[in-house]
Structure 1
Amino acid sequence: MRLELHSHPATPPAQPFAVWANAEASAAFGESATLNLWFGVGAPADRFRIAAPSDDPQRRDGLWRTTCFEAFLRDEAGAAYREWNFAPSGDWAAYDFSARREGMAQAAVASAPYLRVEDNLTWWGLGATIAIPSERRFALGLTAVIEEADGTISYWALAHGGEKPDFHDPACFVARLP
């Protein structure tokens, strides 16, 4: 399913461009399933500050300070959620929260996400594949922090809930994964 992301009104891009995402959960294999995410940016990659691919991608904090894509998965049965961060360099992060911005901890992740970047000259994108529990239903928030070459940073989400960008706002968790 293609989902349009919207820039927060307080942080518009310097020049208009589109941001979209696709999310598809695979069939379950025992207790796990795979979630395939694709984020697209409708402008040439050279308009943006994009970290070069790393030969040794790692788990890193602070990826949201520049171009980064994120997925928030909240179990529909509660307030706890997981935040995933994906950088074009291949670096990533995962955090668990017990409630909105509460109880933040490094998420126990069995394997790093599989990340890939594609540049098609007129648009570019990042793909991420992660393992998710198969027995749960999730509310999903898909977001992006996009830094342009001139330093302009815009914050994109499926929906925004407040006067300032806050991807942890429950208003951002608008998609559903069966």
Structure 2
Amino acid sequence: MRYILHPHPDTPPARVRGVVVDLVATATGLLLTFIVEGGDALLLPEAKSPLRAGGLWKTTCFELFLAPGGSESYLEFNYAPSTEWAAYGFDSYRAGMRDLPQIAPPHIARGGPDAGYIIEVDQELDDIPPGPCHIGLSAVIEEVDGTKSYWALAHAPGPPDFHNRDCFTGRLPASEQ
């Protein structure tokens, strides 16, 4: 499934022209491909060991939010072009934040700006309860000139806030396991 992200109206990009996400559900998780059109303008961190890290959203970072249907709880996954990552659980809107200790580390591969910058993520979700989920896909894009733009499937009124359920407009059906 292909999703188109939209920049927040208060934080337009300078040279980046678009962000799309291809999402494929697998038997064990999700394959995500984030494509940035105008990727030659991105400020990219140096590649590092693929370790869990905090504060990834302070520069170019790609995000996945999963919210089980009928629940206030949700999960947040951050993927940086450095190949660092983070995974958090929340009890409700920005409340009860904790690291997800049992989540399998994602495999993150980064590409170049030739046809648009690409980051591919293979995220296992074995420890996630089965069932349909609402999805939020987002990106913080920092450009070489310092411009930061905030991209999501949809935006709530006010400043950018990827945790707002108004941003979770994608749907992931229950797995067929």
**Normalised-by-shorter TM-score class:** over 0.9
Q: TM-score, normalised by structure 2?
A: 0.92
Q: After TM superposition, give the deviation of residue 77 of structure 1 in Å.
A: 2.5
**Is 2:81 aligned against 1:88?**
yes
Picking from 160, 163, 167, the partner of 1:172 is 167
For 1:16 and 1:92, how far apart are their aligned partners in 2?
Answer: 23
**Paired residue for 1:116?**
109
**Quick one: which amino acid aligns to residue 136 of structure 1?**
G
For 1:161 and 1:25, how far apart are their aligned partners in 2?
Answer: 27
Task: Kindly report which structure 2 residues correspond to 1:143-162, keeping only aligned pairs within 5 A, or say none.
Answer: 143-162=138-157
Q: Is the 8 Å Cα contact of residues 90 and 97 (structure 2) preserved in structure 1? A: yes
Task: Kindly report which structure 2 residues correspond to 1:1-178, keeping only aligned pairs within 5 A, or say none.
Answer: 1-27=1-27, 33-45=28-40, 47-54=41-48, 56-132=49-125, 133=128, 135-178=130-173
Q: After TM superposition, give the deviation of residue 134 of structure 1 in Å.
A: 6.3
Question: Which shifted more, 118-127 or 18-27?
Answer: 118-127
Q: Is the 8 Å Cα contact of residues 38 and 113 (structure 2) preserved in structure 1? A: no
Moved over 4 A (4+): none
* SS at 1:119 equivalent: coil
For 1:163 and 1:87, how far apart are their aligned partners in 2?
Answer: 25
Percent identical:
41
Q: Is the 8 Å Cα contact of residues 16 and 37 (structure 2) preserved in structure 1? A: no
Q: Is the 8 Å Cα contact of residues 16 and 39 (structure 2) preserved in structure 1? A: no
Q: After TM superposition, give the deviation of residue 15 of structure 1 in Å.
A: 2.7
Alpha carbons of 1:81 and 1:134: their partners in 2 closer, same or farther (altered >3 Å)? closer
Q: After TM superposition, give the deviation of residue 14 of structure 1 in Å.
A: 1.4
What do the CA deviations read for 1:18-76 (whole angstroms, capped 9, x no partner)? 1010111113xxxxx2111111001143x11111211x221110000000000000011
What do the CA deviations read for 1:127-167 (whole angstroms, capped 9, x no partner)? 11112236221100000000000000000000001220000
For 1:18 and 1:7, how far apart are their aligned partners in 2?
Answer: 8
Number of aligned residue pairs: give it: 171
Alpha carbons of 1:75 and 1:146: their partners in 2 closer, same or farther (altered >3 Å)? same
For 1:57 and 1:16, how far apart are their aligned partners in 2?
Answer: 26
Q: Which runs of 5+ in 1 are unaligned?
A: 28-32
Q: Which runs of 5+ in 2 are unaligned?
A: none
* SS at 1:41 equivalent: strand
Q: TM-score, normalised by structure 1?
A: 0.92
RMSD over aligned Cα atoms: 1.3
Q: After TM superposition, give the deviation of residue 82 of structure 1 in Å.
A: 0.6
